[in-house]
Amino acid sequence: MLLRLIAFAFALLSFAAPAMAQVNIMDPFNVGAAMDDAAVLGQAIPYADGDRMKLDIYGPKDPKGPAPVVMFIYGGSWKQGQRQDYQFVGRALAANGFVVVIPDYRLYPEVTYPSFLEDLANAAKWIQDNIGSYGGDTSRFFIAGHSAGAYNAVMLGLEKSFFREYNVTMPIKGIAAISGPFDFYPFEYDEVRNVFGKTDNPQGTQPINLVTADEPPMLLASGDQDPIVRMQNTDHLARKLKDAGNWVTVKYYQNIGHMEAVFAIGAMWRWRAPVLADMISFFTQFGAFPSGVPRPVYTPAPPEGMGDIQSTITKLDTILDPIDDSKRRNE
């Protein structure tokens, strides 16, 4: 029955208008039976004033003590997205021993660069001051993000002024950036120019230009069939980090597109790529679980009859706005 419901939902998405599809694209992955078993520790908690300044918290159902903390930042071309759409990510990491915080942040056209990064630094300050009450350990703080959220995560690590502005002093132990744009100037699409085009220093908006020899360890991952953010973004930033002497782990997932890379974190689509296992292994390498990973990552077998759904997910990438055209910058 669950599979039929999910298949029906994807069928509706594939025939919906693009705007509607962008709003509802995540719904099938947040069906209760399709998610990992974890605790919801808080919902719509304000971290600052404003409708978009709220966060949700997930945690293990049976915590064994203070847990490492992950702030997950969703994407959406800096103009769409909401924390509720990523319950499946919060539950996936929480079921594997993390306290997970998913904040909303202001989007275009309400704000442009760098306001959304300031919002996320503000959310990190709330985490620093409050997550201990929810079982989180701020000495084991990690950031993860997908797409524009991966850009945001990496920028918080590279551009230290955002955390300084909000007096965030807890160290970032590691950053997992999935399908992120890191090298997309000149801005070639209106959607990107609208967000970044008014800054006085456009080169300073590019992670590729901000790397020093003192960066947090990073996991950079991408699907090799991503039409939204070309995998050259991962190549270029990884090379820059390595050349500066930083630790970087790079993962490429075969036959995986843009949205699939985040869908694969959730239980329903985990069989497609080991994104969650790679994230947890990386976080563990940098101190998430000093005594060892609490449990192996559970990966359900692929259900029968998923072929049509796979085709629909591939089509969904075509309705999203591209962020860069790296064909022009291939090296």
Task: Kindly report the CATH number assigned to the domain that includes residue 223.
Answer: 3.40.50.1820
46 token code pair: 């304000």
CA distances from residue 6 to 22, 43, 159, 313, 319 in whole angstroms, order as listed = 16, 25, 41, 12, 20
What's the domain range around 162? 2-329
Q: In tens digits, what is the pLDDT along the chain, a chain of 331 residues?
A: 445 545 545 555 555 444 444 445 778 788 877 789 999 999 999 999 999 999 999 999 999 899 999 999 999 999 999 999 999 999 999 999 999 999 999 999 999 999 999 999 999 999 999 999 999 999 999 999 999 999 999 999 999 999 999 999 999 999 999 999 999 999 988 989 999 999 999 999 999 999 999 999 999 999 999 999 999 999 999 999 999 999 999 999 999 999 999 999 999 899 999 999 999 999 999 999 998 888 889 888 886 766 566 666 676 676 666 776 544 444 4
Q: HSE-up of 331 (CA within 13 Å, CB side)? A: 9
**How many domains does the chain fold into?**
1
- What is the C-alpha separation between 290 and 314, in angstroms, rounded? 39
Q: HSE-up of 106 (CA within 13 Å, CB side)? A: 19
Q: What is the pLDDT of residue 207?
A: 98
68: left (phi over 0), alpha (psi -120 to 50) or beta: beta
Q: Would you tell me the crossing angle of helices 275-285 and 87-94 to the nearest 10 degrees?
A: 50
Q: What is the pLDDT of residue 309?
A: 64
242 token code pair: 């390595």
Q: What is the 3-state secondary structure (H, E, C) of 7-43?
A: HHHHHHHHHCCHHHHHHHCCHHHHCHHHCCCCEEEEE
Nearest CA-CA partner of 132 in 88, 92, 172, 101: 101
Query: Is there a contact between 248 and 217 (Cβ–Cβ < 8 Å)?
Result: yes
H or E segment to which residue 111 belongs: none
- What is the C-alpha separation between 300 and 275, in angstroms, rounded? 14
According to DSSP, the β-strands at 248-253 and 54-59 are unpaired
Single-letter residue type at 49? D
Q: What is the pLDDT of residue 319?
A: 60
Single-letter residue type at 27? D
CA distances from residue 51 to 46, 105, 107, 124 in whole angstroms, order as listed = 9, 9, 11, 17
* Length of the chain (residues): 331
Q: Judge if pTM exceeds 0.75.
A: yes
Sheet holding 54-59, edge to edge: 39-46, 54-59, 99-103, 67-73, 136-146, 172-178, 218-223, 248-253
Nearest CA-CA partner of 135 in 29, 21, 42, 59: 59
Q: What is the pLDDT of residue 117?
A: 98
Q: What is the pLDDT of residue 329?
A: 44
